[in-house]
Every structure is written in structure tokens, then in C-alpha cells.
Amino acid sequence: MSDLPMLPVRVTVKAVVEETPSVRTFYFEPGIPSSPGQFVMVWVPGVDEVPMALSSATSITVQQVGDATTAMFCLKPGDALGIRGPLGNGFTVSGKTLAIGGGVGAAPLLHLAVEGKVSTFLLGARTADELLFAPVINASSNLKIATDDGTAGHHGVVTDLMDEIDLEAYDHICVCGPEIMMLKVLERLHAAGVADRGQFSLHRYMKCGIGVCGSCATDPHGLRVCRDGPVFTGADLLESEFGRYARDATGSKVVFPWAKKAEE
Amino acid sequence: MSDLPMLPVRVTVKAVVEETPSVRTFYFEPGIPSSPGQFVMVWVPGVDEVPMALSSATSITVQQVGDATTAMFCLKPGDALGIRGPLGNGFTVSGKTLAIGGGVGAAPLLHLAVEGKVSTFLLGARTADELLFAPVINASSNLKIATDDGTAGHHGVVTDLMDEIDLEAYDHICVCGPEIMMLKVLERLHAAGVADRGQFSLHRYMKCGIGVCGSCATDPHGLRVCRDGPVFTGADLLESEFGRYARDATGSKVVFPWAKKAEE
Amino acid sequence: MISLQPGEITVGGVALHNHLLLAAGVLGTTGASLRRMLRLGAGGVVTKSIGPEPNPGHHGPCLVRTEGGLLNAMGLPNPSKEFVGEIEPLKDEPVVVSVYGKDPEDFKEVAGWFAGTGTARGFELNVSCPHAAGYGAAIGTDPEMVLECTRAVASHGLPVWVKLTPNVTDITTIGLAAEKGGASAIVAVNTVRGMRISTEMRRPVLGYRSGGLSGKAIFPIAVKCVWDLYEACSIPIVGCGGISTADDVVEMMMAGAQAVEVGSAVIDEVRVFEQIARGLYAADGVAAEEIVGVAHRV
Amino acid sequence: MISLQPGEITVGGVALHNHLLLAAGVLGTTGASLRRMLRLGAGGVVTKSIGPEPNPGHHGPCLVRTEGGLLNAMGLPNPSKEFVGEIEPLKDEPVVVSVYGKDPEDFKEVAGWFAGTGTARGFELNVSCPHAAGYGAAIGTDPEMVLECTRAVASHGLPVWVKLTPNVTDITTIGLAAEKGGASAIVAVNTVRGMRISTEMRRPVLGYRSGGLSGKAIFPIAVKCVWDLYEACSIPIVGCGGISTADDVVEMMMAGAQAVEVGSAVIDEVRVFEQIARGLYAADGVAAEEIVGVAHRV
Ligand SMILES: Cc1cc2nc3c(=O)[nH]c(=O)nc-3n(C[C@H](O)[C@H](O)[C@H](O)COP(=O)(O)OP(=O)(O)OC[C@H]3O[C@@H](n4cnc5c(N)ncnc54)[C@H](O)[C@@H]3O)c2cc1C
Ligand SMILES: Cc1cc2nc3c(=O)[nH]c(=O)nc-3n(C[C@H](O)[C@H](O)[C@H](O)COP(=O)(O)OP(=O)(O)OC[C@H]3O[C@@H](n4cnc5c(N)ncnc54)[C@H](O)[C@@H]3O)c2cc1C
Ligand SMILES: Cc1cc2nc3c(=O)[nH]c(=O)nc-3n(C[C@H](O)[C@H](O)[C@H](O)COP(=O)(O)O)c2cc1C
Ligand SMILES: Cc1cc2nc3c(=O)[nH]c(=O)nc-3n(C[C@H](O)[C@H](O)[C@H](O)COP(=O)(O)O)c2cc1C
Ligand code: FES
Ligand code: FES
């Protein structure tokens, strides 16, 4: 455990970049030596501590959804955050890698792409304005875009882009995005018989971030997203709770809307 | 502090050797990797814990003087003791070394001699029966003996033997024995201008043995015999409490009988 | 090193696969997590403490590592009654349900959900959590309250373990109250009151400000509590606090514990139960009775 | 890291060279040892606790290292009245004399020896040692007794610091009693009750069986006690327990301490005061007032 963080370390916000109307990247110092896919617990003093992927060793990219993220949106350069990390296992890649990102899920994949480890990157968003990091990703990998409304790239969802891809040609397929999107990707990988090449970065409710409290335990094997993940292989996720339900802060199951019928 | 011992380690008595009517050597296992002059705190369960020099890595040589040592004298092979150690600094020698030992003070010097580090060994006792380790010492160094009653070697005290010795010829002069004897040795070294070559192993009341409680602190510099010693150079001891008084378990000064007049 | 005989045992009325239970609140929020710990060698598991209403717990940070320990203020997050379904698949396993509440009625009600469905082999009363105003230690420092809560839950007819806080002047008064209330065992101890401040942020690091210290740092404190309770009480004691090795288990037993709970040590290794068991059990080991409390008899 | 202004200060009526005192009972049994610690950078020293009669203390083992801490049951060895002569040569130094006894009369008598000779700048009342039957914590768990002992010693007209035990249900009740009795400061905390058993020997490892835990392991416990006392009391607080770095000092101050005592950390390095001071003080540092209790004001 000696490599697990102790008290949060104070970092100073150096720059805030408005990526889209609801997503901002916060650059901070000092950086957190880490590998792509690892995350940190971000302490917003007086508010809460929440998990965030590192979009680089010196940044997190945040979508505003509630209390803590709204408080972060008030941060200016010079303000402080507490960081515990790096945490979790990150992506393990070698050879040829396909990345598939949707929404703010592009953050950990950006980290991977910037390190030159992504051959092809499928990036999705609702609309052109919400596409994250497209220019930067384009500089280091073969970028393909999809938007729901067709304002950029393919008109449709990011999984559509997989039609043009020879999945067999990739050693690793790294995926992060809304759970419904990741579920669709997993279904395609499974159908193509390459679920084991998929590396999916999961979001689950986290409290301790270091594998003790059990908040992030998943069914049916009790694997902890914070410590045994957040990256799991597609094979691990088949026949798991993935795509069906998650848990809230109380530990109660929250069934995803699209899965409601099946669970009843 | 990571090299300081934690809880006592249990050792098993393997053999008990009656060296003299009032001194026994207890051989135990496992041994305590150590250098000559280091000591251990010996826990006699239900009685007390007392400091003892290691007469070898696997033995202590004990004079019966009170509760704990009397309890030790009841120990048989197979019995257990608790050991915290090795503790303290031990002797630091190189080149040519003279050892001067009196009574049970021969114990740490034996450890040194057996390692082949003593050229000349002056050994004293009250009477021939109480000479410790003479055959063993004789095998590894040039042994000279003195007894108060003349039953062996020179008839007189061990310091008399120093008359025949060219102190200047020795790089180190290691001394252990009754404080009165060590005081006489120090006076001679001082007179000869070689007090700094003297290494004296002191006995003082010890409780913690690891430099925290202060029981063994000496005047006037507050040096701790357990941690800064037990071996001090003759130069360190000049103008100290050495040879004048020590302290008991309460921390009260106990003036040595021979020093009583001077202290009043 | 002393070894123990392997095999099933019964402690405080609960049958267990071995002497090592998972402590409450550690990897115990879901049925699957509890099952994982059983598969990884726990002889029994204590669930996250369940209360009368669903509770999201305190704001973060909820848990930080400190020198030789963990400091947490989770704030008793739990899904309340929904948890019954969570552990239904574990009906055949040694599951002790940890319960909390603000008064004897709360305790009785919550325990009743489980007693009624056969999902609990016994209950552990959390009257000792140091970071939940009005709950936990707020109750566990009052002998009369402890007695009443114990009695209320005991009325369900299942074994009741009462888990004590070390944050009292004299833990034996609380242990005796539990005994008088009909407890089958005492669990000692819950976390020790503690706090850390981030000097960089100039504020307490936990969202709740103060919390409870666990892990190796508190092991000597827990041993002393077990020792004192063994001297004062006659019901079995389950030792808890800072245990991470087979030798720690033996030490707790010599202080008077018949079994132990292990929590924070999962941070080093989720397979801690297997690890401990490997060092603790041997076919030619002694019966636990031979060492329980033995340090009192010298 | 925050730095403090160097220089003389006054805390609880006692003038000190800096914010770092040597804690009672650690390298404090002789005048020479106390002087050494002052020379090595202590801003003030607290003596070994002195009682009404010479006391050899408990049988050994008296002190063992444990995970992140020390466990001791010295048993208050001290030479009693003879100690006056011991510290006479330190008359010009910031020496606080620690005193213990079984009742207010004992406390008053012992303090009187020092008050009469000008050898004490102030007194620290040890009503908190956990391993001395009838003394220490036996008194410090009773608010009325603490009040009376404080009042008795305060009658000598010198500052009185009262050192508290963390081994109570609510430390603020004892802090308030000290304040009411006329204390100039509260020292928090003494050691935490603890025990270790040698599994090899099948018996408690300390001669006295149980003892007090100190060192890094108890730092979060001490911070919490200081925090609670700062909320409840108005007299200055001196923090003690597990402090070993400049950052620990700042943390204690943010919890509410105006100065600190350092004990067990001498085991790592007898020059610990110099080490801490090197990290703590800077010419452009802030005044301590700017950080004392600051973590309460967020
Ligand atoms: C490993 C991991 C990596 C993540 N990376 C990113 C990222 O790079 N960018 C990003 O914008 N978001 C990321 N998230 C999601 C992010 O943690 C939540 O959006 C954030 O916690 C919301 O906090 P809030 O207080 O603003 O929302 P709240 O008002 O508290 O709740 C809104 C929703 O956010 C989620 N949430 C709240 N608290 C937590 C928590 N402690 N743990 C997990 N989810 C929580 C829940 O689904 C909740 O319903 C990540 C989550 C995980 C587990
Ligand atoms: C570094 C060191 C090395 C020593 N090496 C040896 C050795 O090799 N062989 C040997 O026989 N003796 C040695 N001694 C002395 C030995 O520690 C005492 O003889 C022993 O402690 C006596 O214990 P007791 O209970 O039998 O005596 P007690 O009845 O307790 O007292 C008798 C006398 O023994 C001394 N003594 C008692 N307890 C202690 C204590 N905790 N620390 C120091 N002195 C104490 C005191 O002078 C006391 O007056 C050494 C002492 C020190 C400090
Ligand atoms: C993250 C965490 C959550 C805990 N939750 C509970 C709880 O819900 N109920 C309870 O009785 N004890 C709870 N505890 C206390 C533990 O069960 C245990 O008593 C304590 O941690 C000491 O044991 P350990 O040192 O082995 O962890 C919790 C401890 C931790 C670290
Ligand atoms: C060996 C030892 C002896 C002690 N003796 C005393 C004492 O005589 N009086 C007292 O008030 N506290 C005594 N204490 C407690 C310390 O003064 C201090 O309160 C405690 O050790 C916590 O601080 P630390 O962690 O910095 O050591 C002693 C502690 C130790 C380790
Ligand atoms: S968040 Fe606590 S175990 Fe994962
Ligand atoms: S015996 Fe404790 S300091 Fe030497």
C-alpha cells in the first residue's frame, strides 16, 4: 500500500480552458506522475471529493453535472484543489490501439493519444460544439468523428464508425464514455469475438478511491472499480452489472433507463 | 530508528556454563548479529529486563547480583528469555588493540578477542577461580593475568600490568570492568597522554535501552549510555561523572564509596 | 509461531468457517463484495452498518491514509431496507448484519427486517462509530442505552454482538451493559477518534472534519481494550483493530478474543484473509481454547 | 509550506525560546539531559514528572517500539525532592516542572519545593499518565479532582499547565475543569492506553502489563483532542502526541495549539528540535497567531 497516496496534495489551478459549454479543462501544478487511464480523487474544499480521470499529468477535464463540478466551474487560476492520486490501474497497451471516446469520456483517452499510443481514435459527441480535443487527437492519431446531429463528421453515433473498422486489426480497444455507449461498443466487440481486447474505463460511485470502503464494488464478483479498475477488459464486463445498473451514494442500485424493462 | 528492535525476540537457552561461583554464561538461540561491545536488554519474564553485554553473538555472561540475575541463575537449557538488541555502539578498533578487563567486564572484551581483534589482553580478578575466559582469550591474544590474592599471574590489580606495557604502541585500548578499575586505567591513560585511545564500556542504570527515557544520561553533557554509548572514549570521560557517581532507578545520584569525600 | 487447528468454529452463537471475520463497513456494502471476501478466505463477514433510512453518508473526503493507519468519516452510508435483498443470495453463509439507529426502537426495527427473512446469522450493533452525530458512539458511551438497544435486538432471538468504542473512560462499563442486555459477544473495537488537518488547505481533511482511526496504529489500543473486557466480562470477545498478520490474531486471542475482525488491512492486500490463514492454521495446530486469554494466566 | 517567525515567545505564562518543548519524561530525568535538549534546540523543557517520594518505577520491560510508536510503562521513576538540586543550574532556562501526586496536597507540596527555590518557570500537572495506579489518569478522569489539584498548585503563584489524558469519553470536561481551577494552559495529550503481548512468551510485554502509546501512531488522536479543546476552552493549548516534523507542528497549531511538545520523536534523532526548527522557521515567516486555530475558521 506504500504507493497509495496519504493526505491530499494541494495543487494550484494554472489555467482553465472552456472546451464546450459544459466541459472545462483545469490545468494545475504540480503534476501527478501517472499513466493514461488512472484517475485522481479531487477535493473541492468545503464541497466534496470526487473521482476524475487525468486528461494529462497536469489536467482534469470536467463536465458540470452537480455540486462538486459546479463548484469547480467557479475556480480561477491561483485557486487550490486537493488531489489524491494517481489511483487505479489505467490502460495497458502495446502494438496497435483503437480508442473509442464519447463525451467527457474522451479525457483519459486523450492522455493515451497524446503519448502516441493510439492508432485510430473514434470520437463522438451530441453536436460539433461538444467534440472534445479533436485537434489535439488529430495530431497524434487517425481521428474519425461522429455527431448525433451531423454537425461534424459522421451523422450518427460513434459506434456507427466501427462499421468501417477492422476490429481484428487492433491489439487493444480502449473505450470511455457514457455507459450506454460503452455497452454498445462491448456488444459489437463481443459479436466480433474480441471482447477480451476491449479495455473499458468505468464510472461508479466512489468514496475512498483506494479499495477499502466498497462503494464502487460491482456485481457479480465484487470487483472494486477504484482499485481493481477503473479499466476492465470487455471479457470481465460480459455478464456483469455493466450496462444494466450502478449504485448511488447509499449503495442502492440505480437501474439505467434503457435497462429498466430487462431488470423488472 | 528502523534498526532499533521492536518487541523482544524469544531466545531459547541452549547451555549454561558455570564460569565461576557467581558468573554463568548462557548460550542461546537464535543468535543476535552484533559487533563486540554492543549489548542487549534481557527480559526475564515476570521479573525484570536488564542490560547485558553480548559475550558472543549467542551468549551473555552474567554475574549474580540481584533479582533478575538470580532468576537467570535458575534457567536451564530449554528455558526462554526475551531479547531486545543489539543496542549501543560497541568498540571501534583497527590496528593494534590492548584490552583490559576486570571481573564480568571481560564479557564484551571476550567478544572482541575471539574475533581476533585484540593483540594484548590484561585480565584481572580477585582470585584464580574468578578469572573469566582465560584459556579462550589466551588462544587469540597475548594474555597477561593479575589476581588480587596472587593465586594466578601477577599478585595485585590489573592496572599494575600496565607498567610493563608501552601504551603508545597501541592504537586502541578497550576497557571494561568495575568502575574503580576503569577509573584507574583512565588515570594512567590520561597521565600517558593517550586518554583519547581509550574505549571504556560503561554500566549505568537503563530502562528503555534505546535512548528515550533518559535513565542512563550522564553528567555533564547528558550523553545516553544506551544510545550514545555504552562505549565512550577516555577523552569523553575526563571531567565527567565517570568514577564519581552513577544513578539508581529513581534517578538519584549514588556516589561511589571511594569518591564520597571528594563529592562532599 | 503458534498455529491453530483449522476448521469450523462457533463464536458468540454464530458458526464461522474460521476465526477471521471481515469487519463492518469494509468492502461490505454489497452482497457481491461480501461474497468475494468469503471466497477469499474470510470465515465470516459483517455487513456495512444498516440504518432505518437510506443514507448517502458524509461529503468527501471520506477516507485518507495516515501514518500506519486509515482515518475515515464515511458517515454510515447504506441503502437501508433494500440491503435485505442484497444479502439474500448469501443465506447459507456466515453473515452477521451490522445495525445502527438512534434508539432501541430503530435497532429493533432494522434488525427485524433481517431476522424476518433469515438473512442474518446474528447482529452486530454499531454503538461505536465516532463520526455520526446522534448515532454510533453517541449511544455507545451510555451504558443504559447500550443495555436497552441490546435487549431490543436480542428479542428477535438471534445472537447479538455489541461493538464497542474505545473512546470511553472505562470500556468495561459498556461491555458489562451489553452483557446484561443479553449480548452473545462483544466486539472490540471500533475506530479511535481522530483528525488530520491539511496544512496546505488550512482545514480538516475529512469532509466531516473528524473521523475514526483504524489500522496498525490502533492495534495496541485494541489489544488493551480486549484485555480489560476479558477481565471484566464473561461473554466471548471478538477482537478488532489493526489486525493484519497471523501473529496479530494470536496476540488478540491471548488478550482474550475468541475470534477477530479484519478491516483496514485489505488496503495492503485484498487477499489478506488467505494470507493470515496461511500463517495461522496448521493441521497440527492447537485448539483456540488453549490460547484464548492465556496471557492473563501468567 | 508555511513558515513561522523565529524568536522568543510566551505561552501560558512561560517565556520560551521557540514553540517546541521537550515533552515530560523523555530525556528529562537529569539536569544535564535537559540542558542537552535545550542546547540541541528545544525552546523549553518539561522535566520528568516529580512526585512526593522517590520512585524506582515499574519493573522492565518498560518501553518497546511498536508499529509507528512507542509503548511505555515507566511507572513514573523519579528522585522526588532531590530533583530540585538537579535543575538548580538551569535557573535561567525555560524549565517547566512536571508534578504528580495522589491528591491536591501532594501536588501542592511537590510544586512548593520548586516554587520556593525559583527553579521552575511553571508547572505541568501530570493528571494523565495511564500506567500508575492511583496517580496520573486516575486523577485526570475526574473533573473535580483536576480542578482541585490545579487550584492547589496555582496557589504558588506560578503558571500551571494541566496535561490531559485522551483516555476519557469527553476531554473537554477535563479541560474546562483545569481552566476553572486557574490553569494557564492545557497540554494535550499524554499517552493513549495500550498493550502488546509477546505471543512467543504468552504474556504482556511490559512489566506493568499495560502502558501508554506515543509517537506517530497517536498524532491524529492528539490533533482531535486539541481541536475539541480549542472549541471548548479559552486558555492556551500546548499540543503533544506524535509530533516529529515541522508540518506536524503547523498542523497542531491549525488545530488550536500555541506551542507543542515533542517526546518520542527523539528516538529517530536526538537533534529533532533542530531538524524541526530548520523546517519551521524563516525570517519572512508569519506570526504564529495567524495560524493558531485557523482550521476552525473555514
Ligand atoms: C474513475 C472515474 C473517472 C471519472 N472521470 C471523469 C472525468 O474525467 N470528467 C468528468 O467530468 N467526470 C468524471 N467522472 C465522473 C465524476 O466523478 C462525476 O461527474 C462527479 O463526481 C460529479 O460530482 P458532482 O458533485 O458535481 O455531482 P453530484 O451532484 O454529486 O451527482 C451527480 C452525479 O455524479 C455522479 N457522482 C457524484 N459523486 C460521485 C462520486 N463520488 N463518485 C462517482 N460518481 C459520482 C453520480 O452519478 C451522481 O448521480 C469520473 C468518475 C469515475 C468513477
Ligand atoms: C551496557 C551494560 C552492560 C552490562 N553487561 C553486563 C554483563 O555482561 N554481565 C553482567 O553480569 N552484568 C552486566 N551489566 C550489569 C547488569 O545489568 C546488572 O548487574 C543487572 O541489571 C542486575 O540486575 P538484578 O535484577 O540482578 O539486580 P538488582 O537487584 O536489580 O540490582 C543490583 C544492581 O544491579 C544494577 N542494575 C539493576 N538493574 C539495572 C538496570 N536495569 N540497568 C543497569 N544496571 C542495573 C544496579 O547497579 C543495582 O544496584 C551490564 C550493564 C550495562 C548497563
Ligand atoms: C472505511 C471504513 C468503514 C467502516 N464502517 C463501519 C461501519 O459501518 N460499522 C462499524 O461498526 N464499523 C465500521 N468501521 C470500523 C471497522 O469495522 C473496524 O472496527 C475498525 O476499522 C478497526 O479495525 P481495522 O483496524 O481492522 O480496520 C469502518 C472502518 C473503515 C476503515
Ligand atoms: C518514555 C516516556 C516517558 C514518559 N514520562 C512521562 C512523565 O513522566 N510525565 C508525563 O506527563 N508524560 C510522560 N510521557 C508522555 C509524554 O510526555 C507525551 O505526552 C507522550 O509521549 C506523547 O507525545 P510523543 O508522541 O511526542 O511522545 C512519557 C512518554 C514516554 C515515551
Ligand atoms: S471507492 Fe472505496 S472501495 Fe472503491
Ligand atoms: S535507558 Fe532510556 S535513555 Fe538510556
- pLDDT (tens digit per residue) in B201-211: 999 999 999 99
Dihedral sign, CA of A29, A34, A35, A40?
Answer: negative
Give distance in angstroms: CA of C50 to centre of ligand 3: 13
> Could you tell which of A41, A218, A224 is best to mutate to test the pocket of ligand 5, judged by most ligand atoms within 8 Å of the CB?
A224
Dihedral sign, CA of C47, C51, C56, C57?
Answer: negative
For residues D201 and C254, the answer to whether their CB atoms sit within 8 Å is: no
Statement: the pTM of the whole predicted model exceeds 0.90: yes
CB of B254 shorter than 6 A to ligand 2: no
pLDDT of residue D228: 98
The amino acid occupying position B54 is: L
Whether pLDDT at D5 is above 90: yes
CA angle D242, D246, D251 (to 5 degrees): 65
Dihedral sign, CA of A98, A102, A105, A107?
Answer: positive
User: Binning pLDDT at 50, 70 and 90, where does residue A261 land?
Assistant: confident
Chains D and B lie in contact, requiring 3 or more CB pairs less than 8 Å apart: yes
Nearest CA among B210, C114, A74, C29 for reference residue D72: B210
Q: Is C207 on the interface with A (CB under 8 A)?
A: yes
Contact C77 A251 (CB under 8 A): yes
Show residues of chain C in contact with A221, CB under 8 Å. Answer: 32, 36
pLDDT of residue C271: 98
Contact D194 C223 (CB under 8 A): yes
For residues A77 and C57, the answer to whether their CB atoms sit within 8 Å is: no
Nearest CA among C289, C250, C254, C267 for reference residue C20: C250
Searching chain D, which residue's CA lies closest to the CA of residue C72? D220
> Could you tell which of B42, B205, B216, B218 is best to mutate to test the pocket of ligand 6, judged by most ligand atoms within 8 Å of the CB?
B216
What is the average per-residue pLDDT within D176-185? 98
Residue D283 distance to chain B (closest CA, Å): 31
- Name the helix (H) or strand (E) containing A129: none
Whether pLDDT at A1 is above 60: no
Whether pLDDT at A251 is above 90: yes
Supply the CATH classification number for the domain C9-297.
3.20.20.70
CB of A254 shorter than 6 A to ligand 1: no
Chains A and B lie in contact, requiring 3 or more CB pairs less than 8 Å apart: no
By alpha-carbon position, which residue is closest to atom 6 of ligand 3?
C25
> What is the biggest distance separating any 2 CA atoms in chain D, rounded to whole angstroms?
56
Searching chain A, which residue's CA lies closest to the CA of residue C209? A46
pLDDT of residue B2: 60
Known binding-site positions of A for [2Fe-2S] cluster: 208, 213, 216, 226
Residue A175 distance to chain C (closest CA, Å): 25
The DSSP code for A116 is: T
User: Binning pLDDT at 50, 70 and 90, where does residue A264 land?
Assistant: low
Q: Cβ contacts of residue C26 below 8 Å, gap of 6+?
A: A212, A213, A214, C263, C264, C266
Question: B70 in helix, strand or coil?
Answer: helix
How many other β-carbons are positioned within 10 Å of the β-carbon of residue B181? 20
Which residue has cell 477492422?
A: A166
3-state SS record for B130-197: HCCCHHHHHHHCEEEEEECCCCCCEECCHHHHHHHCCHHHCCEEEEECCHHHHHHHHHHHHHCCCHHH
pLDDT of residue B258: 95
3-state SS record for chain C: CCCECCCCEEECCEEECCCEEECCCCCCCCHHHHHHHHHCCCCEEECCCECCCCECCCCCCCEEEECCEEEECCCCCECHHHHHHHHHHHCCCCEEEEECCCCHHHHHHHHHHHHCCCCCCEEEEECCCCCCCCCCHHHHCCHHHHHHHHHHHHCCCCCEEEEECCCCCCHHHHHHHHHHCCCCEEEECCCEEECCEECCCCEECECCECEEEECHHHHHHHHHHHHHHHHHCCCCEEEECCCCCHHHHHHHHHHCCCEEEECHHHHCCCCHHHHHHHHHECCCCECHHHCCCHHHHC
pLDDT of residue D131: 80
CB of A162 shorter than 6 A to ligand 1: no
Best mutation target among B48, B69, B208 (most D Cβ atoms within 10 Å) is B208
Rg of chain C, C-alpha, whole Å: 18
Q: Active site residue: C129, C149, C225, C240, which one? A: C129
User: Binning pLDDT at 50, 70 and 90, where does residue B1 land?
Assistant: very low
pLDDT digits (tens, 9 = 90+) for A178-223: 999 999 999 999 999 999 999 999 999 999 999 999 999 999 999 9
Q: Outline where DSSP puts E strands in chain A.
A: 9-20, 23-29, 39-44, 48-56, 59-63, 80-87, 97-102, 120-125, 142-147, 154-155, 172-176, 198-201, 231-233, 245-247, 253-255
CB of B107 shorter than 6 A to ligand 2: yes
Give distance in angstroms: CA of D179 to centre of ligand 2: 45
Q: How far apart are CA D9 and CA D94, in angstroms?
A: 11
For residues C84 and C119, the answer to whether their CB atoms sit within 8 Å is: yes
pLDDT of residue D84: 98
pLDDT digits (tens, 9 = 90+) for D241-294: 999 999 999 999 999 999 999 999 999 999 999 999 999 999 999 999 999 999
Average pLDDT over all residues of chain B: 96
Chains C and D lie in contact, requiring 3 or more CB pairs less than 8 Å apart: yes
Preceding omega of D61 cis (within 30 degrees of 0): yes
Under 8 Å CB pairs connecting chains A and C tally to 149
For residues B48 and B67, the answer to whether their CB atoms sit within 8 Å is: yes
pLDDT digits (tens, 9 = 90+) for B55-100: 999 999 999 999 999 999 999 999 999 999 999 999 999 999 999 9
Alpha helices, H only, A25-146: 67-72, 106-114, 134-140
Q: How far apart are CA D63 and CA D207, in angstroms?
A: 9
Which residue has cell 473533573?
A: D143
b/e map B102-134, b = 16+ CB within 10 Å: bbbbbbbbbbbbbeebbbbbbbbbeeeebbbbb
For residues C127 and C145, the answer to whether their CB atoms sit within 8 Å is: yes
Q: How far apart are the first and last CA of chain D?
A: 19
> Could you tell which of C20, C26, C100, C272 is best to mutate to test the pocket of ligand 3, judged by most ligand atoms within 8 Å of the CB?
C26
Residue C217 CA to its chain's centroid (Å)? 17
The amino acid occupying position D291 is: I
Which residue has cell 524563516?
A: D282
